[in-house]
Chain A
Amino acid sequence: MGVPHDLEFFVDPSRCIGCQACVQACSECNTHKGHSMIHLEFVDRANSVQTVPVVCMHCEQPTCAEVCPADAIKRTEDGVVQSARKPRCIACGNCVIACPFGVPEVHLAEQVMMKCDMCYDRMSVGKKPMCATVCPSQALFFGTRAEIIALRPRSTPMSTFRFGEQTIKTRVSVMMPRASASPQHLDVTAAMDDRTRGRSLKLAVVQDGRSDDTVDTDDPFAAVQV
Protein backbone atom coordinates (compact mmCIF):
# COMPACT_ATOMS: atom_id res chain seq x y z
CA MET A 1 0.00 0.00 0.00
CA GLY A 2 2.82 2.36 0.89
CA VAL A 3 2.95 5.91 2.17
CA PRO A 4 0.88 8.61 0.41
CA HIS A 5 3.23 10.94 -1.41
CA ASP A 6 1.70 14.15 -0.03
CA LEU A 7 2.37 13.12 3.57
CA GLU A 8 5.82 14.07 4.80
CA PHE A 9 7.89 13.95 7.96
CA PHE A 10 9.28 17.18 9.39
CA VAL A 11 11.90 17.41 12.13
CA ASP A 12 12.57 20.55 14.12
CA PRO A 13 15.35 19.79 16.66
CA SER A 14 15.13 23.30 18.12
CA ARG A 15 11.67 22.40 19.45
CA CYS A 16 12.82 19.21 21.17
CA ILE A 17 12.38 19.24 24.94
CA GLY A 18 14.03 15.84 25.54
CA CYS A 19 10.92 14.31 27.10
CA GLN A 20 11.67 10.83 25.70
CA ALA A 21 8.05 10.31 24.62
CA CYS A 22 9.22 9.52 21.08
CA VAL A 23 11.75 7.00 22.37
CA GLN A 24 9.12 5.13 24.34
CA ALA A 25 6.50 5.28 21.60
CA CYS A 26 8.91 4.13 18.92
CA SER A 27 9.34 0.72 20.51
CA GLU A 28 5.61 0.08 19.99
CA CYS A 29 6.08 -0.13 16.24
CA ASN A 30 5.37 -3.60 14.88
CA THR A 31 8.21 -3.65 12.38
CA HIS A 32 10.83 -3.46 15.13
CA LYS A 33 8.92 -4.71 18.14
CA GLY A 34 10.33 -3.64 21.47
CA HIS A 35 13.31 -1.85 19.97
CA SER A 36 13.28 1.92 19.93
CA MET A 37 14.81 3.13 16.69
CA ILE A 38 14.78 6.86 17.39
CA HIS A 39 17.92 8.47 18.76
CA LEU A 40 17.35 11.20 21.30
CA GLU A 41 20.82 12.63 21.44
CA PHE A 42 22.23 15.11 23.90
CA VAL A 43 24.17 17.61 21.82
CA ASP A 44 26.67 18.42 24.55
CA ARG A 45 25.60 16.80 27.79
CA ALA A 46 28.24 18.49 29.98
CA ASN A 47 27.20 22.01 29.09
CA SER A 48 23.68 21.90 27.85
CA VAL A 49 20.35 20.12 28.13
CA GLN A 50 19.83 20.56 24.39
CA THR A 51 18.59 17.38 22.75
CA VAL A 52 18.07 16.38 19.16
CA PRO A 53 15.67 13.66 17.99
CA VAL A 54 17.19 11.80 15.06
CA VAL A 55 15.02 9.65 12.84
CA CYS A 56 15.99 8.09 9.53
CA MET A 57 15.94 10.88 6.94
CA HIS A 58 15.19 8.42 4.11
CA CYS A 59 17.80 9.63 1.65
CA GLU A 60 17.10 9.62 -2.08
CA GLN A 61 20.46 7.93 -2.60
CA PRO A 62 20.90 6.10 0.71
CA THR A 63 24.57 5.68 1.61
CA CYS A 64 23.64 2.83 3.96
CA ALA A 65 22.11 0.87 1.07
CA GLU A 66 24.94 1.64 -1.33
CA VAL A 67 27.66 0.43 1.06
CA CYS A 68 25.73 -2.67 2.14
CA PRO A 69 27.76 -5.67 0.93
CA ALA A 70 24.71 -7.93 1.14
CA ASP A 71 22.49 -5.59 -0.89
CA ALA A 72 20.01 -5.95 1.96
CA ILE A 73 18.75 -2.38 2.32
CA LYS A 74 16.02 -1.37 -0.11
CA ARG A 75 14.19 1.88 -0.77
CA THR A 76 10.55 1.34 -1.57
CA GLU A 77 8.76 3.24 -4.34
CA ASP A 78 7.24 5.63 -1.81
CA GLY A 79 10.73 6.80 -0.85
CA VAL A 80 11.01 4.94 2.46
CA VAL A 81 14.37 3.28 3.12
CA GLN A 82 13.49 0.04 4.86
CA SER A 83 15.44 -1.79 7.55
CA ALA A 84 17.74 -4.44 6.13
CA ARG A 85 15.95 -7.46 4.73
CA LYS A 86 16.56 -10.08 7.39
CA PRO A 87 17.41 -13.04 5.14
CA ARG A 88 20.20 -11.04 3.55
CA CYS A 89 21.65 -8.84 6.30
CA ILE A 90 25.02 -10.16 7.48
CA ALA A 91 25.31 -7.64 10.32
CA CYS A 92 28.61 -6.20 9.08
CA GLY A 93 27.85 -2.73 10.45
CA ASN A 94 28.86 -0.81 7.31
CA CYS A 95 25.54 1.00 7.35
CA VAL A 96 26.04 2.08 10.95
CA ILE A 97 29.26 3.95 10.30
CA ALA A 98 28.33 5.08 6.78
CA CYS A 99 24.98 6.77 7.46
CA PRO A 100 25.64 10.53 7.44
CA PHE A 101 22.95 11.07 10.09
CA GLY A 102 24.11 8.23 12.37
CA VAL A 103 20.83 6.33 12.30
CA PRO A 104 21.13 2.52 11.79
CA GLU A 105 21.84 0.07 14.59
CA VAL A 106 23.17 -3.47 14.38
CA HIS A 107 21.82 -6.11 16.73
CA LEU A 108 24.64 -8.62 16.83
CA ALA A 109 22.86 -11.40 18.70
CA GLU A 110 20.11 -11.46 16.09
CA GLN A 111 22.54 -10.72 13.27
CA VAL A 112 20.44 -7.95 11.81
CA MET A 113 20.50 -4.22 11.21
CA MET A 114 17.50 -2.20 12.29
CA LYS A 115 16.57 1.40 11.82
CA CYS A 116 13.66 3.80 11.76
CA ASP A 117 11.37 2.85 8.87
CA MET A 118 8.90 5.67 9.51
CA CYS A 119 6.55 3.17 11.18
CA TYR A 120 5.81 1.54 7.84
CA ASP A 121 3.19 -0.75 9.33
CA ARG A 122 1.23 2.25 10.64
CA MET A 123 1.71 4.56 7.70
CA SER A 124 0.69 1.93 5.18
CA VAL A 125 -2.71 1.83 6.87
CA GLY A 126 -3.10 5.58 7.06
CA LYS A 127 -1.74 6.23 10.55
CA LYS A 128 1.04 8.57 11.63
CA PRO A 129 4.45 7.37 12.83
CA MET A 130 4.44 6.72 16.58
CA CYS A 131 7.02 9.39 17.44
CA ALA A 132 5.21 12.16 15.57
CA THR A 133 1.95 11.11 17.20
CA VAL A 134 3.23 11.55 20.75
CA CYS A 135 5.70 14.44 20.42
CA PRO A 136 4.28 17.16 22.70
CA SER A 137 6.34 20.01 21.23
CA GLN A 138 5.83 18.88 17.63
CA ALA A 139 9.56 18.70 17.08
CA LEU A 140 8.50 15.65 15.07
CA PHE A 141 5.62 16.42 12.75
CA PHE A 142 3.92 14.27 10.15
CA GLY A 143 1.49 15.81 7.71
CA THR A 144 1.29 17.73 4.48
CA ARG A 145 3.68 20.50 3.46
CA ALA A 146 0.75 22.95 3.38
CA GLU A 147 -0.09 22.08 7.01
CA ILE A 148 3.40 22.70 8.34
CA ILE A 149 3.79 25.95 6.42
CA ALA A 150 0.47 27.19 7.76
CA LEU A 151 1.38 26.16 11.32
CA ARG A 152 4.91 27.62 11.25
CA PRO A 153 4.98 30.77 9.15
CA ARG A 154 8.53 31.62 10.27
CA SER A 155 9.92 28.25 9.18
CA THR A 156 10.48 26.48 5.93
CA PRO A 157 11.17 22.79 5.33
CA MET A 158 14.53 21.81 3.89
CA SER A 159 15.58 18.40 2.65
CA THR A 160 19.03 19.02 1.20
CA PHE A 161 22.10 18.52 3.38
CA ARG A 162 25.82 18.91 2.93
CA PHE A 163 28.41 16.67 4.53
CA GLY A 164 31.81 17.89 3.43
CA GLU A 165 31.65 17.82 -0.35
CA GLN A 166 28.66 15.48 -0.45
CA THR A 167 25.11 16.65 -0.99
CA ILE A 168 22.33 14.39 0.28
CA LYS A 169 18.65 14.84 -0.52
CA THR A 170 16.12 13.25 1.80
CA ARG A 171 12.43 12.48 2.02
CA VAL A 172 12.32 13.83 5.59
CA SER A 173 12.74 17.59 6.00
CA VAL A 174 14.25 19.71 8.73
CA MET A 175 12.63 23.02 9.66
CA MET A 176 14.82 26.02 8.85
CA PRO A 177 14.26 29.73 9.34
CA ARG A 178 12.29 31.33 6.54
CA ALA A 179 14.68 34.09 5.60
CA SER A 180 14.98 35.89 2.34
CA ALA A 181 18.58 34.72 1.91
CA SER A 182 18.05 31.24 3.24
CA PRO A 183 20.69 28.76 2.04
CA GLN A 184 19.90 26.00 -0.43
CA HIS A 185 21.07 23.32 1.98
CA LEU A 186 21.90 22.70 5.61
CA ASP A 187 25.65 22.29 5.94
CA VAL A 188 25.90 19.75 8.76
CA THR A 189 29.69 19.51 8.79
CA ALA A 190 29.94 23.30 9.14
CA ALA A 191 29.01 22.68 12.77
CA MET A 192 32.04 20.45 13.35
CA ASP A 193 33.72 22.94 15.66
CA ASP A 194 30.54 24.39 17.13
CA ARG A 195 29.75 23.74 20.73
CA THR A 196 26.64 24.58 22.64
CA ARG A 197 26.88 27.88 24.43
CA GLY A 198 27.51 27.26 28.09
CA ARG A 199 24.91 29.06 30.13
CA SER A 200 24.86 29.97 33.78
CA LEU A 201 21.81 30.85 35.74
CA LYS A 202 22.09 33.52 38.40
CA LEU A 203 19.31 33.78 40.85
CA ALA A 204 18.87 36.51 43.36
CA VAL A 205 19.60 35.23 46.87
CA VAL A 206 16.78 35.94 49.25
CA GLN A 207 17.81 36.97 52.76
CA ASP A 208 15.44 38.05 55.50
CA GLY A 209 12.66 38.14 53.02
CA ARG A 210 14.59 40.55 50.78
CA SER A 211 16.61 39.94 47.73
CA ASP A 212 20.24 41.07 47.82
CA ASP A 213 19.59 42.74 44.49
CA THR A 214 17.24 45.59 44.84
CA VAL A 215 14.85 45.27 41.99
CA ASP A 216 12.10 47.75 41.75
CA THR A 217 9.57 45.61 39.95
CA ASP A 218 6.73 43.21 40.53
CA ASP A 219 8.29 40.67 38.21
CA PRO A 220 9.59 37.81 40.44
CA PHE A 221 12.01 36.71 37.71
CA ALA A 222 13.40 40.13 36.94
CA ALA A 223 16.64 39.42 38.86
CA VAL A 224 17.30 36.16 37.13
CA GLN A 225 20.28 36.32 34.79
CA VAL A 226 20.81 33.72 32.14
Chain B
Amino acid sequence: MTDRTQAILWGLVTTASLAALIVVGSRSLAHFDAALVSYTFASLFATFGITYRYTMWLRRPPTQMYWRRGWQVFASPRHLGRNLLQLLRRFFLEFAANRFIFRRGGLRGLTHWLLMWGTLVAGAITFPLVFGWIHFETVPGHLDTYRAYFFGVSAGTFPIESAIGFIAFHGLVWASFLVLGGVMLAFRRRMVDHGAAALQQFGEDILPLLLLGAISITGLMLTVSYSWMKAYAYDFLAILHAITVIFTLLWLPFGKFFHIFQRPAQLGVGFYKEAGERGEQARCARCEQPYAPLPMVRDLTIVEQQLGFTYEMPRHAAGHYQRVCPKCRRALFGLAQGAAWSGARS
Protein backbone atom coordinates (compact mmCIF):
# COMPACT_ATOMS: atom_id res chain seq x y z
CA MET B 1 0.00 0.00 0.00
CA THR B 2 1.44 3.36 -0.99
CA ASP B 3 1.90 6.22 1.45
CA ARG B 4 -0.78 8.18 -0.37
CA THR B 5 -3.32 5.36 -0.12
CA GLN B 6 -2.59 4.98 3.59
CA ALA B 7 -3.02 8.71 4.10
CA ILE B 8 -6.35 8.67 2.24
CA LEU B 9 -7.54 5.72 4.32
CA TRP B 10 -6.59 7.40 7.59
CA GLY B 11 -8.29 10.57 6.36
CA LEU B 12 -11.47 8.64 5.64
CA VAL B 13 -11.31 6.90 9.04
CA THR B 14 -11.01 10.14 11.03
CA THR B 15 -13.62 11.92 8.90
CA ALA B 16 -16.07 9.03 9.31
CA SER B 17 -15.33 8.96 13.05
CA LEU B 18 -16.13 12.66 13.36
CA ALA B 19 -19.32 12.20 11.34
CA ALA B 20 -20.34 9.34 13.63
CA LEU B 21 -19.59 11.47 16.70
CA ILE B 22 -21.74 14.25 15.29
CA VAL B 23 -24.65 11.85 14.84
CA VAL B 24 -24.18 10.35 18.31
CA GLY B 25 -23.47 13.64 20.08
CA SER B 26 -26.45 15.41 18.56
CA ARG B 27 -28.73 12.48 19.39
CA SER B 28 -29.30 11.37 15.80
CA LEU B 29 -29.15 14.97 14.61
CA ALA B 30 -32.08 15.95 16.88
CA HIS B 31 -30.01 18.85 18.25
CA PHE B 32 -28.14 19.55 15.05
CA ASP B 33 -28.76 23.04 13.69
CA ALA B 34 -29.37 22.65 9.96
CA ALA B 35 -28.40 26.30 9.42
CA LEU B 36 -24.85 25.36 10.38
CA VAL B 37 -24.52 22.47 7.97
CA SER B 38 -21.97 24.33 5.80
CA TYR B 39 -19.72 24.71 8.86
CA THR B 40 -20.05 20.98 9.51
CA PHE B 41 -19.05 19.99 5.99
CA ALA B 42 -16.11 22.40 6.09
CA SER B 43 -15.04 20.82 9.39
CA LEU B 44 -15.29 17.33 7.90
CA PHE B 45 -13.19 18.41 4.92
CA ALA B 46 -10.63 19.98 7.27
CA THR B 47 -10.49 16.75 9.27
CA PHE B 48 -9.79 14.74 6.14
CA GLY B 49 -7.16 17.23 4.91
CA ILE B 50 -5.38 17.50 8.25
CA THR B 51 -5.26 13.72 8.71
CA TYR B 52 -4.04 13.22 5.15
CA ARG B 53 -1.25 15.76 5.56
CA TYR B 54 -0.35 14.52 9.03
CA THR B 55 -0.08 10.93 7.79
CA MET B 56 2.06 11.98 4.81
CA TRP B 57 4.22 14.02 7.17
CA LEU B 58 4.69 11.02 9.46
CA ARG B 59 5.84 8.93 6.49
CA ARG B 60 8.93 11.10 5.98
CA PRO B 61 11.95 9.12 7.25
CA PRO B 62 13.11 11.67 9.88
CA THR B 63 9.58 12.26 11.16
CA GLN B 64 8.88 8.55 11.30
CA MET B 65 12.08 7.96 13.25
CA TYR B 66 11.30 10.69 15.80
CA TRP B 67 7.67 9.59 16.10
CA ARG B 68 8.71 6.01 16.87
CA ARG B 69 11.58 6.93 19.19
CA GLY B 70 9.54 9.61 20.96
CA TRP B 71 6.83 7.11 21.92
CA GLN B 72 9.39 4.41 22.82
CA VAL B 73 11.22 6.75 25.16
CA PHE B 74 8.04 8.21 26.64
CA ALA B 75 6.43 4.84 27.35
CA SER B 76 9.61 3.29 28.75
CA PRO B 77 8.41 1.68 32.03
CA ARG B 78 11.51 2.86 33.87
CA HIS B 79 10.85 6.53 33.18
CA LEU B 80 7.08 6.65 32.58
CA GLY B 81 6.25 8.29 35.91
CA ARG B 82 8.83 11.00 35.49
CA ASN B 83 7.82 11.47 31.85
CA LEU B 84 4.18 12.01 32.81
CA LEU B 85 5.17 14.67 35.34
CA GLN B 86 7.45 16.27 32.78
CA LEU B 87 4.62 16.18 30.22
CA LEU B 88 2.34 18.01 32.63
CA ARG B 89 5.01 20.59 33.39
CA ARG B 90 5.80 21.21 29.74
CA PHE B 91 2.14 21.37 28.84
CA PHE B 92 1.62 24.30 31.18
CA LEU B 93 4.93 26.07 30.71
CA GLU B 94 5.54 25.65 27.01
CA PHE B 95 2.04 25.23 25.58
CA ALA B 96 -0.36 27.02 27.89
CA ALA B 97 2.03 29.84 28.82
CA ASN B 98 4.05 29.89 25.58
CA ARG B 99 7.26 30.30 27.60
CA PHE B 100 9.56 29.49 24.69
CA ILE B 101 7.95 32.20 22.53
CA PHE B 102 8.10 34.80 25.32
CA ARG B 103 11.84 34.07 25.41
CA ARG B 104 12.07 35.28 21.82
CA GLY B 105 10.55 38.59 22.91
CA GLY B 106 7.85 39.84 25.25
CA LEU B 107 5.60 41.32 22.57
CA ARG B 108 6.12 38.32 20.37
CA GLY B 109 5.08 36.01 23.17
CA LEU B 110 2.04 38.13 23.96
CA THR B 111 1.04 38.15 20.29
CA HIS B 112 1.08 34.38 20.05
CA TRP B 113 -0.51 33.91 23.45
CA LEU B 114 -3.48 36.12 22.48
CA LEU B 115 -3.89 34.46 19.09
CA MET B 116 -3.57 30.96 20.52
CA TRP B 117 -6.01 31.38 23.41
CA GLY B 118 -8.45 33.40 21.31
CA THR B 119 -8.66 30.69 18.66
CA LEU B 120 -8.70 27.86 21.22
CA VAL B 121 -11.57 29.42 23.17
CA ALA B 122 -13.46 30.16 19.95
CA GLY B 123 -12.88 26.60 18.71
CA ALA B 124 -13.93 25.08 22.02
CA ILE B 125 -17.23 26.97 21.80
CA THR B 126 -17.91 26.79 18.07
CA PHE B 127 -17.24 23.17 17.22
CA PRO B 128 -19.42 21.56 19.93
CA LEU B 129 -22.24 23.98 19.08
CA VAL B 130 -21.96 23.34 15.34
CA PHE B 131 -21.82 19.57 15.82
CA GLY B 132 -24.83 19.61 18.12
CA TRP B 133 -22.77 18.30 21.01
CA ILE B 134 -23.88 21.16 23.23
CA HIS B 135 -27.32 22.70 23.34
CA PHE B 136 -29.40 24.65 25.81
CA GLU B 137 -33.03 24.28 26.81
CA THR B 138 -35.19 26.33 29.16
CA VAL B 139 -36.15 24.44 32.26
CA PRO B 140 -39.91 23.69 32.24
CA GLY B 141 -41.63 25.96 34.75
CA HIS B 142 -38.50 28.15 35.06
CA LEU B 143 -38.30 30.23 31.91
CA ASP B 144 -35.43 32.29 33.32
CA THR B 145 -33.22 29.20 33.66
CA TYR B 146 -31.26 27.32 31.04
CA ARG B 147 -30.20 23.70 31.21
CA ALA B 148 -27.01 22.87 29.28
CA TYR B 149 -26.72 19.48 27.57
CA PHE B 150 -23.47 17.89 26.51
CA PHE B 151 -23.81 14.93 24.15
CA GLY B 152 -27.47 14.90 25.10
CA VAL B 153 -26.68 14.55 28.82
CA SER B 154 -27.66 17.26 31.28
CA ALA B 155 -24.60 19.19 32.42
CA GLY B 156 -26.23 21.63 34.86
CA THR B 157 -28.50 24.66 34.95
CA PHE B 158 -27.86 28.39 35.26
CA PRO B 159 -29.99 31.55 35.30
CA ILE B 160 -30.07 33.26 31.90
CA GLU B 161 -29.66 36.71 33.43
CA SER B 162 -26.56 35.91 35.46
CA ALA B 163 -22.85 36.52 35.28
CA ILE B 164 -22.26 32.93 34.17
CA GLY B 165 -24.89 33.29 31.47
CA PHE B 166 -23.43 36.58 30.28
CA ILE B 167 -19.90 35.21 30.14
CA ALA B 168 -20.96 31.96 28.46
CA PHE B 169 -23.20 33.48 25.81
CA HIS B 170 -20.59 36.08 24.91
CA GLY B 171 -17.69 33.63 24.87
CA LEU B 172 -17.03 34.23 21.19
CA VAL B 173 -16.94 37.98 21.82
CA TRP B 174 -14.20 37.58 24.43
CA ALA B 175 -12.35 35.24 22.08
CA SER B 176 -12.61 37.83 19.29
CA PHE B 177 -11.04 40.48 21.50
CA LEU B 178 -8.12 38.17 22.24
CA VAL B 179 -7.65 37.29 18.56
CA LEU B 180 -7.92 40.90 17.38
CA GLY B 181 -5.30 42.00 19.92
CA GLY B 182 -2.99 39.29 18.65
CA VAL B 183 -3.68 40.09 14.99
CA MET B 184 -2.90 43.77 15.50
CA LEU B 185 0.34 43.02 17.32
CA ALA B 186 1.33 40.51 14.64
CA PHE B 187 0.67 42.99 11.84
CA ARG B 188 2.62 45.64 13.72
CA ARG B 189 5.61 43.30 13.90
CA ARG B 190 5.34 42.49 10.21
CA MET B 191 5.35 46.20 9.40
CA VAL B 192 8.23 47.35 11.61
CA ASP B 193 10.50 44.30 11.78
CA HIS B 194 12.86 44.25 8.78
CA GLY B 195 13.77 40.63 9.34
CA ALA B 196 10.15 39.49 9.39
CA ALA B 197 9.32 41.70 6.42
CA ALA B 198 12.12 40.15 4.34
CA LEU B 199 11.06 36.58 5.01
CA GLN B 200 7.27 36.80 5.12
CA GLN B 201 5.10 35.23 2.43
CA PHE B 202 1.51 36.19 1.74
CA GLY B 203 0.03 32.70 1.91
CA GLU B 204 2.08 31.58 4.87
CA ASP B 205 2.20 34.67 7.08
CA ILE B 206 -0.29 37.33 6.00
CA LEU B 207 -3.33 35.33 4.89
CA PRO B 208 -3.77 33.52 8.24
CA LEU B 209 -3.78 36.87 10.06
CA LEU B 210 -6.28 38.33 7.59
CA LEU B 211 -8.54 35.31 8.04
CA LEU B 212 -8.41 35.43 11.83
CA GLY B 213 -9.05 39.17 11.75
CA ALA B 214 -11.96 38.76 9.32
CA ILE B 215 -13.58 36.04 11.42
CA SER B 216 -13.31 38.15 14.57
CA ILE B 217 -14.58 41.38 13.01
CA THR B 218 -17.52 39.78 11.19
CA GLY B 219 -18.37 37.84 14.34
CA LEU B 220 -18.37 41.01 16.42
CA MET B 221 -20.48 42.76 13.79
CA LEU B 222 -23.10 40.05 14.25
CA THR B 223 -23.20 40.79 17.98
CA VAL B 224 -23.40 44.52 17.32
CA SER B 225 -26.19 43.98 14.80
CA TYR B 226 -28.48 41.96 17.06
CA SER B 227 -27.59 43.77 20.30
CA TRP B 228 -27.80 47.40 19.30
CA MET B 229 -28.98 47.72 15.68
CA LYS B 230 -32.19 45.68 15.68
CA ALA B 231 -30.50 42.94 13.62
CA TYR B 232 -29.68 45.35 10.79
CA ALA B 233 -28.13 43.42 7.86
CA TYR B 234 -27.91 40.35 10.07
CA ASP B 235 -28.45 37.83 7.27
CA PHE B 236 -25.76 39.43 5.13
CA LEU B 237 -23.35 39.53 8.08
CA ALA B 238 -24.12 35.91 8.94
CA ILE B 239 -23.24 34.82 5.40
CA LEU B 240 -20.09 36.97 5.43
CA HIS B 241 -19.04 35.46 8.75
CA ALA B 242 -19.75 31.95 7.48
CA ILE B 243 -17.58 32.57 4.40
CA THR B 244 -14.61 33.67 6.52
CA VAL B 245 -14.95 30.73 8.90
CA ILE B 246 -15.46 28.15 6.17
CA PHE B 247 -12.51 29.46 4.15
CA THR B 248 -10.33 29.22 7.27
CA LEU B 249 -11.50 25.66 7.95
CA LEU B 250 -10.73 24.68 4.36
CA TRP B 251 -7.32 26.37 4.68
CA LEU B 252 -6.41 24.56 7.93
CA PRO B 253 -4.60 21.59 6.34
CA PHE B 254 -2.57 23.66 3.88
CA GLY B 255 -1.10 26.74 5.47
CA LYS B 256 0.45 27.97 8.67
CA PHE B 257 -2.44 26.70 10.80
CA PHE B 258 -1.14 23.18 10.30
CA HIS B 259 1.52 23.91 12.91
CA ILE B 260 -1.25 23.63 15.52
CA PHE B 261 -1.25 19.88 14.87
CA GLN B 262 2.44 19.51 14.07
CA ARG B 263 3.91 21.42 16.96
CA PRO B 264 3.06 18.96 19.79
CA ALA B 265 5.85 16.81 18.32
CA GLN B 266 8.07 19.11 20.37
CA LEU B 267 7.02 17.11 23.45
CA GLY B 268 8.26 13.82 21.99
CA VAL B 269 11.52 15.42 20.95
CA GLY B 270 12.03 16.65 24.51
CA PHE B 271 11.80 13.10 25.90
CA TYR B 272 14.10 11.79 23.16
CA LYS B 273 16.69 14.43 23.96
CA GLU B 274 16.52 13.75 27.69
CA ALA B 275 17.00 10.02 27.10
CA GLY B 276 19.94 10.84 24.84
CA GLU B 277 21.59 12.99 27.49
CA ARG B 278 21.28 10.18 30.02
CA GLY B 279 22.89 7.66 27.66
CA GLU B 280 26.23 7.22 25.96
CA GLN B 281 27.59 10.16 23.98
CA ALA B 282 29.12 9.89 20.52
CA ARG B 283 32.76 10.93 20.36
CA CYS B 284 34.12 12.67 17.30
CA ALA B 285 36.33 10.45 15.13
CA ARG B 286 38.73 13.36 14.71
CA CYS B 287 38.95 15.27 18.00
CA GLU B 288 37.53 12.48 20.21
CA GLN B 289 35.30 14.93 22.07
CA PRO B 290 31.63 14.07 22.84
CA TYR B 291 29.28 16.01 20.59
CA ALA B 292 25.84 14.33 20.55
CA PRO B 293 23.97 11.37 22.05
CA LEU B 294 25.16 8.18 20.37
CA PRO B 295 21.61 6.86 19.68
CA MET B 296 20.77 10.14 17.96
CA VAL B 297 23.84 9.87 15.72
CA ARG B 298 22.94 6.26 14.88
CA ASP B 299 19.32 7.18 14.14
CA LEU B 300 20.39 10.08 11.98
CA THR B 301 22.79 7.86 10.04
CA ILE B 302 19.89 5.49 9.27
CA VAL B 303 17.66 8.41 8.26
CA GLU B 304 20.36 9.77 5.93
CA GLN B 305 20.70 6.37 4.30
CA GLN B 306 16.92 6.15 3.88
CA LEU B 307 16.98 9.55 2.23
CA GLY B 308 19.68 8.44 -0.20
CA PHE B 309 22.62 10.34 1.25
CA THR B 310 25.96 8.55 1.02
CA TYR B 311 28.15 10.08 3.70
CA GLU B 312 29.95 6.75 4.14
CA MET B 313 33.75 6.96 4.26
CA PRO B 314 34.93 3.46 3.31
CA ARG B 315 38.57 4.54 3.05
CA HIS B 316 38.73 6.01 6.54
CA ALA B 317 38.55 4.41 9.96
CA ALA B 318 35.69 6.71 10.95
CA GLY B 319 33.50 4.85 8.47
CA HIS B 320 30.87 7.56 8.25
CA TYR B 321 31.01 11.33 8.12
CA GLN B 322 28.29 11.42 10.76
CA ARG B 323 30.98 10.40 13.25
CA VAL B 324 32.69 13.79 12.84
CA CYS B 325 31.56 16.62 15.12
CA PRO B 326 30.31 19.95 13.70
CA LYS B 327 33.38 21.79 15.01
CA CYS B 328 35.76 19.43 13.20
CA ARG B 329 33.63 19.67 10.04
CA ARG B 330 34.24 23.40 10.01
CA ALA B 331 37.97 22.89 10.58
CA LEU B 332 38.10 20.29 7.80
CA PHE B 333 36.61 22.81 5.40
CA GLY B 334 39.54 25.16 6.07
CA LEU B 335 42.13 22.40 6.05
CA ALA B 336 40.88 20.97 2.76
CA GLN B 337 41.00 24.33 1.05
CA GLY B 338 44.44 25.06 2.52
CA ALA B 339 45.70 21.68 1.30
CA ALA B 340 44.49 22.48 -2.22
CA TRP B 341 46.50 25.69 -2.19
CA SER B 342 49.58 23.99 -0.72
CA GLY B 343 49.37 21.41 -3.48
CA ALA B 344 49.11 24.13 -6.09
CA ARG B 345 52.23 25.92 -4.74
CA SER B 346 54.43 22.85 -4.46
Contact = CB atoms under 8 A, between A and B. Distances in A.
A71 B314 contact: no
A88 B329 CA distance: 27
Interface in A1-60: 1, 12-14, 16, 29-33, 39, 41-44, 50-52, 54
Contacts of A70: 63, 262, 265
Interface string B266-283: 100100110000000000
B327 A166 contact: no
Interface of A: 1, 12-14, 16, 29-33, 39, 41-44, 50-52, 54, 63, 66-71, 82, 85-88, 90-94, 96-103, 109-112, 120-121, 124-125, 163-166, 174-177, 179, 183, 186-196
A103 B344 CA distance: 28
B239 to A, nearest CB: 31
30 contacts: A29-B195, A30-B198, A41-B327, A52-B337, A54-B334, A66-B309, A69-B63, A69-B65, A69-B67, A93-B273, A94-B303, A97-B291, A100-B311, A101-B330, A102-B328, A110-B101, A110-B104, A111-B94, A120-B199, A164-B311, A164-B312, A164-B321, A177-B340, A186-B340, A188-B332, A189-B316, A189-B321, A190-B336, A191-B336, A193-B316
Contact of B263 (A14, A39, A88): A88
Interface string B175-202: 0000000000000000001110111000
Nearest to A67: B62
A166 B307 CA distance: 12
B199 A82 contact: yes
A97 B322 contact: yes
Interface of B: 57, 60, 62-63, 65-67, 94, 100-101, 103-104, 193-195, 197-199, 204, 256, 259, 262-263, 265-266, 269, 272-273, 285-286, 291-292, 296-297, 300, 303-304, 307, 309-314, 316, 318, 320-322, 324-341, 343-344
Contacts of B310: 164-166
Contacts of B313: 164-165, 189, 192
Nearest to A61: B309
Contact of B318 (A179, A190, A192): A192
Interface of B is mostly: helix
Contacts of A16: 334
B290 to A, nearest CB: 12
Given A30-B193, A87-B263, A110 B334 contact: no
A89 to B, nearest CB: 9
Contact of B198 (A12, A102, A120, A192): A120
B304 A31 contact: no
Contacts of A44: 331
Given A30-B198, A52-B330, A190-B339, A92 B272 contact: yes
Contact of B326 (A30, A42, A99, A112): A99
A110 B286 CA distance: 31
B256 A87 contact: yes
Among B60, B272, B327, B332, the most chain A Cβ lie within 10 Å of the Cβ of B332
B300 A67 contact: yes
Given A41-B327, A177-B340, A69 B333 contact: no
Q: Which 9 A-B pairs have the closest CB atoms?
A: A52-B334, A102-B326, A177-B344, A30-B195, A102-B329, A121-B198, A164-B313, A31-B195, A165-B310
A71 B63 contact: yes
Nearest to B308: A66
Contacts of B303: 67, 94
A188 B330 contact: no
A51 to B, nearest CB: 7
Given A31-B195, A67-B307, A163-B321, A100 B329 contact: yes
B188 to A, nearest CB: 16
Nearest to A187: B336
A97 B292 contact: yes
Contacts of B343: 177
Given A69-B66, A177-B344, A190-B336, 8 more contacts: A14-B341, A44-B331, A90-B263, A94-B62, A96-B326, A100-B321, A183-B340, A192-B318
B344 A179 contact: yes
A149 to B, nearest CB: 17
A87 B262 CA distance: 9
Contact of A97 (B272, B312, B326): B326
